[in-house]
Each structure stands twice: as C-alpha cells, then as structure tokens.
Amino acid sequence: MALLKFPIIKFTLCLITGIIIGHFCIIDFFASIYTSLGLILLTSLYWLILRGQLNRSLYFSVLVYLSMISLGVNAYNVHDEKLRPDHYLHLTKGDIPNKVVLKIRQRLKPDLFNHKYIATIISMDNHEVSGKVLINLKKDSIIQTMPIDAVIYASSKFQKIPNPLNPYQFDYASYLERKYVYRQLYLNSNEISIISTAPRTVYGFADQFRATINSKLNEAGFSKDVMSIINALLLGQKQSIDKEIYNNYVNSGTIHILAVSGLHVGILTLILNFLFRPLQYLKYGGLLKPTLILALLWLFAIVAGLSPSVTRAVAMFSIVTIGWHLKRPSNIYNSLAISAFFILLFKPMFLFEVGFQMSYLAVIGIVSFQPVIYKIWSPKYLIIDKLWQIFTVTLAAQIGVFPVSLYYFHQFPGLFFISNLVIIPFLGLILGIGVLTIVLALVNLLHPYLVHVFSFIINCLNEFIAFIAQFEEFLFRDIPFTLSQTFSFYITIYALWHTIKTKTFQWSLVCVIGILLFQSSFIYGKYYADENAFIVFNKSRHSIIGIQNKKHLTIHHNLDSIKLASDQIIRNFKIGTSVRSVQKDLLKSIYQFKNETIYLIDSLGIYHGLSFKPDYILLRNSPKINLTRLIDSIHPKMIIADASNFKTYVSRWKLTCTHKKIPFHYTNEKGAFILK
C-alpha cells in the first residue's frame, strides 16, 4: 500500500467516497455544511492544542479524512441544481405551457426526427430561473443547427424524460440527470423566436471557432467521412461520425482514439515541447515556454468541448509540465490524484462518466503494468523493441479498462492489440499533420496536395479499421458482467500486481481472496438468474413475449427477421439475466405460467366461448371489443395492453378498467409487464 503514503492520493480517495455518499444517500444540505464546518473546526483545534505531541497522528488523520469525505458530500450537494430555490422544477405548471427564454449550451447527436441540445433556462414566465433542459427541435428546412450560446424564446410544456420501458435497457433519464438535466421540450422551428446567436461564453466562442475550421476544411475539399474523423480526433466532436464507421472503431478496439484523451494530449504536449524548445535559450524562456504550453493545452481543451477525458488529460499534463519547469521529479500517481481531485471538486458528476473512469483506469494500467510486462522480454533490435513497447502499453491499458469495459459494453475486441499496434505509432503523425492542416486552412494557405495526402491517410485509417472489424469471430459479444464482478476483478488485478512486485505472502493471500470473491459473485449471479418469468416487452407497433426458464429464454414475437436481428430489447434482457440460450417462436393465443393463464386477444377480437377463465388478458393489435362485457364475463385479475395498440383504444380501455376497478397495465406507460 505504498501509494497511500502520498497524502493527495488519500485525499482524492476520501473526496470520491464523499461524492459517492452524496449521490446514493439523501443528506440534508445544511446538515452536511454544518458537519463539515464542525469537522474542520475540530481538526484545527486538535492541531493547535496537541501539535507538539506525537500521539495525535491517528486521531488527527481520522479527522482529516472525515473532513475530506464531508468535502466530497458538499461538493456533490453544492452542484445539485435541484436544491436551488429558483430551479424551474419548483415553478413549472404541469400541463400548462410555459413561456421560456433559453440559451443553447451543448449540441448532442441528433436522432432521426430531431436536433438535440442541452440548454440553460434564463427565464420562465418573466421570472428568472435556473436549470438545464433537453431540447428536441424537429428537423426541417428552416433551421439546420443552432449555435452554442444562441438565445431563443419558446412556449411549450415541460415533459418528463421517460424511464426505460424494458428490463436492463439503457436509462437515458438517469444519464441526463447526471448532467443535471431533468426535463425536455419538444419544439418546432415555427414555434421559436431566435433572440440572439452571438457567442457570449468561452463555449460559444469555441463552437464558433470550430464552425470556422469546418467551413475552411469544407472549402478545401475534404469529404464528409474524413471531416467527421478530423472533428473527432482534433476537435473532440463525435456527433457527425457515420454509424457504420463508429461501429467499426468499437468492434476493432480502437474507439479510444476517437475520444480526445490522455493519448492525444500527451502527444500534443510532446509536440509543443519540441516546437518551443528554442525558447528556453532566451532570458525568460524558462517561464515563457511552460506558459505557452499550458495556454495552448487549455485552449485545445476548450476547443474540444471540455469533456471529462480531455479535461482530465490536460489537467494532468499541465501538472507534469509545471514539474518539468520546476525540475522536480513528479510521481505519475500524484499527478493523476491532483488532477482528479480538482476536477471532481468542481465537476463531481464526472465521477460517474464512463469516459472519465476509463481514461483514468487506462493511464493507471499503463503506469502500473507496462513496466512489469516490458521486463518479460528484451528485444535486441530497435524496431522490434519499439513495437514491443507499443504492444506492452496497449496491453497494460487494456488490463486497466478490461473489467469496467465489460461492465458497461459487454463485449471484448480480441484483435485490439493488432489494430493498436498499427495505429498508435502513426497517431502522432496524424495529429501533427492535422494541426498543420487546420492552421494552414485558417490562414488560407492550405495546398490541395496536402488535402489529398491527409484525406488519403484518414481513408487508409478507416479502411484498416473496417478490415479489422470484419473479423467478427474475434469480437466476443454479450458478456454478462456485474458490478460486484467488476470490483472483485480489480481487487484481483491489484493484488496480483503487488504479488509480482513484492513476492510476499500477504499480497498472495489478498489475490486469492479476490479470486474467491470473483467466483462467489459468479455463483451468486447464477443463483439469482435461475428464476422463471413471463414478460410482455414494450415494442412500438409490435408484440414481444418472453418466457424465461432459468438460463433459457423463449421469445414469441411478430417481428420480421431484419428487425429481430437489430433489436436490442432481447439482447439487453439476455445480458442482464445471464441467459445462455434464446429460442424464437410465433405468438400464441394462450400461455400457461405456473398457476396463471394469460389469454391473448388480437385484432380479430375473439374471446367468446372460452371453456376456462384466464387470469390475465393481453390486448394486442387494437382489437375491436367491448371491454366492459369482457370483464363482466371473464373477471380477469388484470388487463394488459402492449405497444402494438392504438393509443385512442388504450385510453378508452384505461377508463373502462378504472370504472370497473380492475388493474390496467399499459407497457408504453408503465414499462414491460413481468410475472414471476
């Protein structure tokens, strides 16, 4: 545990603990403030009174750590916008439209029907308010995109962001809540008035600068696909990448190069350090050189959108640059901890960002495991040695992110080492030429020859990635991996690393404990998943029924083969429940589950002459029936309607069930119906 000897690492771990407590526990804002003040006051008094005594260290350390944990709780609460009295959630009128003035803050990836933005609310019904909202602006020919910092006026109803309607589906509402977005607006271009489009913040000027760069590059003749990669690699904007190209990068294990992170910032730092080396021979060059490097690094971070990964990377390399200038050897773990501490202090929700987590874990994996792996073999030839270094760096980074990658994405690219072995050596060249291309384009000196050369390089990159991605047999998909398995895996990796370094019995014992915990989580998952369930999934315009029998799932559906192959509902359920086999079948009229009978009534509306009384009635494909007469004749426990029915029919059925005092479950409102 030598790393815990560094105070900043301990403080960062305590801050993270406090943020987690604040996230999962409801703690009164003023109670946490008073607790923090009390702990700080007690710590200060303890230090002043007993500072000359050696026996104070244990209690003093405990007080300091508790103070740092309370700081984490307060950092989380202070940034919780819902706690502000002027937040729009406290003032909305329900179904009555609100007159709002909004400022565009962030542009998101559009869907098939809407442009999507995150905006801050300036005022609502002539009252100043605060808070963020998701804007869905219908696509039409009038408004293509809204610039960052654009101020608009609209009158619309705030709508709740829907929770997932199927088991183990991605929770978009929770994802947006972590960005402090709690409601959404649906707008048409003819319903809004643009008050201003002039940039007023650093984000607005950065967006305008990116727009200028894109305009110049478009004029130079770059294709759409090449432009999307340039935007991702150099400007931190991935919204315009073609879905097929993006999936190729995911399946080949190289998606990390499209997210501006430590790799890109590290290469940029080396390039800047090389370019500004002559400055150190000037009188004040020792101060001017690091100042310029820091300024350009943070300018790059701003232009790239200040995402968690680029913010972390720039913060860390800023600390490294300062260390170089002061000629003090800096511990990389200290640099990581310092950058994480200050980032989380001002942006605590970054802790729950997948990119933030994987960025740190990749760097920790490299600095921890790469030296150990590299010592296994010492190549004699320089070229082979360089390739071996790249391979060990890639492998170490993959070890660092492997468990969390399985937890979030449930897949593992088996050929990641081949793709990274080819791409990483040339990434510096791509970034260098890319920066030169942008600079020349901005000053109107970009030669067509350079456009062709750079386009050729990007196209070769995309073609190579597509070539690697086509070997689907090396892409291991649909791997169930739980949070407990993730933590136990990291315990095992950490203990194994210390066992190799120290060769002590204590760390060997911890490694064995980690393996036992990992095995136990698998056994528990198997026991928990060994259950039976009848599920009516929510699928617009279609019907999907699942019958789970422990590790086997039978799907009854009316989807065509193309929609079935691309549907994520079954895949998510299979991963979430650790189901091993899935069988497809056609829909039936009668289902028997345990002691319950479920009867399906489709568009034919046939239910007369039944020789039994079903416990549940499932309505699908909008049957024309008299529901009151059906309820009086059958007396079911519940009426279920899936998303294949017309909404007008569902509204009528809902009123009938309310009148007859019988439960009604509509999957498009309450989510999938599950009977266990």
Mean pLDDT over 313-337 rounds to 75
Q: Whole-prediction pTM value?
A: 0.84
Q: Which helix or strand (DSSP H or E) is residue 327 part of?
A: none
The yes-or-no verdict on residue 649 having pLDDT over 90 is: yes
Helix, coil or strand: residue 35? helix
Alpha-carbon gap, residue 442 to 463, rounded angstroms:
28
211-222 confidence digits (pLDDT tens): 888 888 888 888
Q: What CATH class is the domain 88-206?
A: mainly beta
The yes-or-no verdict on residue 14 having pLDDT over 90 is: yes
The yes-or-no verdict on residue 3 having pLDDT over 70 is: no
CB atoms within 10 A of CB 90: 11
Alpha-carbon gap, residue 67 to 162, rounded angstroms:
38
Token digits of residue 161: 């962001």
382-433 confidence digits (pLDDT tens): 888 877 887 888 788 888 888 988 888 888 887 777 777 777 777 778 888 8
Question: 438-442, 465-469, 502-506, 560-564: lowest mean pLDDT where?
Answer: 560-564
CA distances from 349 to 73, 121, 133, 307 (A): 12, 20, 17, 12
pLDDT given for residue 537 in this prediction: 95
Please tell me which residue, 94 or 100, carries the higher pLDDT value: 100
143-188 confidence digits (pLDDT tens): 667 888 899 998 888 889 988 999 999 899 999 998 899 999 998 8
Question: 90-99, 193-202, 273-282: lowest mean pLDDT where?
Answer: 90-99
Q: Residue 534: which region, alpha, beta or left (left: phi > 0; alpha: psi -120 to 50)?
A: beta
Indicate the angle between helix axes 382-409 and 354-374, nearest 10 degrees: 140
Indicate the angle between helix axes 448-469 and 416-442, nearest 10 degrees: 160
Alpha-carbon gap, residue 151 to 439, rounded angstroms:
30
pLDDT > 70 fraction of the chain, expressed in percent and rounded: 94
pLDDT given for residue 630 in this prediction: 87
The highest-confidence range among 55-64, 165-174, 275-284, 504-513, by mean pLDDT, is 165-174
pLDDT given for residue 477 in this prediction: 81
570-581 confidence digits (pLDDT tens): 888 988 888 888
The yes-or-no verdict on residue 197 having pLDDT over 60 is: yes
Mean pLDDT over 533-546 rounds to 92
Token digits of residue 48: 């002043």
Mean pLDDT over 180-199 rounds to 87
Question: 89-93, 145-149, 293-297, 595-599: lowest mean pLDDT where?
Answer: 89-93
The yes-or-no verdict on residue 1 having pLDDT over 50 is: no
Mean pLDDT over 264-288 rounds to 81
pLDDT given for residue 207 in this prediction: 84
Mean pLDDT over 521-550 rounds to 83
Is residue 432 within 8 Å of 271, Cβ to Cβ? Answer: yes
35-79 confidence digits (pLDDT tens): 888 888 888 887 777 665 545 567 777 888 899 999 999 999 998
CA torsion angle for 350, 355, 359, 360 (degrees, to 10)? 30
The sign of the dihedral angle between the CA atoms of 238, 241, 243, 247 is negative
**Sheet with 616-619: strands ordered across:** 590-593, 596-601, 616-619, 638-641, 664-666
pLDDT given for residue 556 in this prediction: 92
Alpha-carbon gap, residue 224 to 241, rounded angstroms:
9
Q: Where are the domains of the chain?
A: 2-78, 88-206, 217-476, 483-529, 532-675
Q: Which of 530, 575, 536 has the alpha carbon at shortest distance from 674?
A: 536
Contacts of 645 (CB under 8 A, 6+ apart): 619, 620, 621, 622
- Res. 546 pLDDT band, cuts 50 70 90: very high
Q: What angle do CA 307, 313, 315 make, to 5 degrees?
A: 95
- Res. 664 pLDDT band, cuts 50 70 90: very high
Alpha-carbon gap, residue 457 to 471, rounded angstroms:
22
pLDDT given for residue 54 in this prediction: 47
pLDDT given for residue 108 in this prediction: 86
Q: What is the mean pLDDT of the chain?
A: 84
Helix, coil or strand: residue 432? helix
- What is the 8-class DSSP label of residue 106? E
